[in-house]
């Protein structure tokens, strides 16, 4: 039985014996309200005009933002693709406890070089803070501004997934036996990690206010730029590229448990970025607004500079099969892809795919022995139609 005083304790809490509470007589005001309600029911009075004059919700009246339809009415859908994202996301359920990390503990302490441990710990140090910012962006800055419930419902699932990712990084850090206080504080004391976090926080702060007026064109443009940043840069490029140093270790047979955790996270992030880009495109069309080319140029340049600084720190000494130069070039290539999906100019013409194996990590389908482990395989995930 659920104990409502202590929900984590399933045993009931005995109530002390006591005399029955004295019956309280209603106040005159309470009695008058009760009489009025009874009289209305008995005389079959009509409903108030404010109720019967409400109009049915039409799907075509829904909008990404500034919608006038009832936010509480899910269907009919104007954005059925958003509902499909929600349904697909629920096929992708997993937890970090599903994945065996025993070999990773041995690898970290007995097989990784000093340089490889530096890469591993700093990737996790960045991700632990970054996914909390992703969660806060969706839950605080974005969801309440969406005026179609099918969008909000997927974003509610996305918020949960960001929390799940944060748990996953914490689980890896704790399982390996790292100093959690030291790891979690690196974003504050390591300038190259802090630069990416600070840029993200600035975009979040710009739209976090609940009273932002999205009917004002300037404020709407600020919101659009923040939304594009989180979809195309933060999750679509930085996150997509950010797991690759761990995947490089996995390709050499090390830290495979952590890499598998990140594969599941990557598939979530691919869906987040895909959804965000689709919302941004719909928003641009509905509101007849485009991102300012100069603002886009500055965003990409700042993102590239932050990524280059980060790569130079975590890969100050290249590890076998992976270097800072490859990391930055891959970022440029991914950024071009995201820009093309948005329908804007590619920021880094000529950038090459430095890590052709990276896309495999989102699409890889593993075979699981049904009798040895619970199936945690994704049904969809990385193979998405970005249109």
Q: Which of 85, 120, 126, 169 is catalytic?
A: 169
Domain presence at residue 140: yes
pLDDT digits (tens, 9 = 90+) for 100-127: 999 999 999 999 999 999 999 999 999 9
Domain presence at residue 56: no
Is 79 a catalytic site residue?
no
Domain presence at residue 317: yes
Residues 296, 226, 210: CA angle, nearest 5 degrees: 150
Give the bridge partners for 319, in sequence order.
Answer: 322
Per-residue pLDDT band at 315 (split at 50, 70, 90): very high
Domain presence at residue 55: no
pLDDT of residue 60: 87
Percent of the chain with pLDDT over 70: 79
131: annotated binding-site residue? yes
Domain presence at residue 92: yes
Per-residue pLDDT band at 209 (split at 50, 70, 90): confident
Query: Where in the sequence is the domain holding 92, given as residue range(s)?
Result: 81-363
Domain presence at residue 207: yes
Higher pLDDT, 207 or 366: 207
pTM of the prediction? Answer: 0.81
pLDDT digits (tens, 9 = 90+) for 153-172: 999 999 999 999 999 999 99
pLDDT digits (tens, 9 = 90+) for 29-87: 555 555 554 555 455 555 555 444 567 888 888 999 998 888 888 999 999 999 999 99
Higher pLDDT, 18 or 102: 102
Higher pLDDT, 119 or 5: 119
- The domain that holds 247 is classified in CATH as 1.10.620.20
pLDDT of residue 375: 42
- The total of structural domains in the chain comes to 1
Look up residue 99 and give its two tokens.
């994945």
Average pLDDT over all residues of the chain: 85
Give the bridge partners for 322, in sequence order.
Answer: 319
Count of Cβ atoms closer than 10 Å to residue 69 Cβ: 19
Domain presence at residue 384: no
Domain presence at residue 312: yes
pLDDT digits (tens, 9 = 90+) for 282-311: 999 999 999 999 999 999 999 999 999 999
162: annotated binding-site residue? yes
């Amino acid at each position: 039985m659920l104990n409502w005083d202590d929900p984590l304790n399933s045993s009931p809490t005995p109530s002390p014996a006591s005399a029955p509470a004295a019956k309280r007589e209603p106040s005159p005001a309470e009695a008058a309200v009760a009489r009025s309600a009874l009289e209305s029911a008995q005389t079959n009075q009509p409903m108030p005009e404010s109720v019967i004059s409400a109009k049915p919700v039409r799907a075509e009246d829904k909008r990404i933002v500034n919608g006038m339809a009832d936010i509480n009415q899910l269907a009919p859908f104007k954005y059925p693709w958003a509902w499909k994202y929600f349904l697909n996301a629920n096929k992708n359920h997993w937890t970090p406890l599903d994945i065996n990390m025993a070999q990773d503990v041995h690898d970290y302490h007995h097989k990784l070089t000093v340089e490889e441990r530096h890469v591993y710990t700093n990737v996790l140090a960045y991700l632990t803070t970054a996914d909390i910012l992703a969660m806060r962006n969706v839950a605080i800055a974005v969801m309440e501004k969406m005026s179609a419930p099918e969008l909000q419902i997927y974003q509610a699932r996305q918020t949960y997934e960001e929390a799940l990712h944060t748990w996953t990084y914490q689980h890896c850090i704790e399982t390996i036996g790292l100093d959690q206080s030291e790891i979690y504080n690196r974003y504050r004391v390591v300038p190259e990690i802090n630069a990416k976090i600070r840029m993200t926080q600035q975009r979040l702060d710009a739209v976090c206010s609940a009273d932002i007026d999205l009917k004002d064109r300037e404020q709407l443009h600020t919101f659009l730029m923040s939304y594009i940043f989180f979809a195309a840069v933060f999750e679509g490029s930085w996150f997509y590229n950010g797991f690759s140093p761990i995947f490089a270790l996995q390709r050499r047979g090390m830290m495979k448990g952590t890499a598998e955790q990140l594969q599941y996270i990557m598939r979530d992030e691919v869906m987040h970025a895909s959804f965000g880009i689709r919302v941004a495109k719909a928003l641009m069309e509905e509101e007849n607004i485009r991102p300012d080319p100069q603002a886009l140029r500055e965003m990409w340049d700042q993102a590239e500079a932050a990524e280059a600084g980060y790569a130079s720190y975590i890969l100050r000494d290249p590890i076998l099969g992976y270097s800072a130069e490859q990391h930055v070039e891959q970022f440029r290539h991914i950024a071009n892809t995201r820009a093309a999906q948005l329908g804007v100019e590619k920021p880094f013409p000529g950038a090459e795919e430095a890590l052709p194996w990276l896309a495999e990590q989102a699409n890889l389908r593993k075979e699981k022995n049904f009798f040895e482990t619970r199936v945690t395989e994704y049904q969809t995930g990385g193979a998405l139609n970005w249109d």
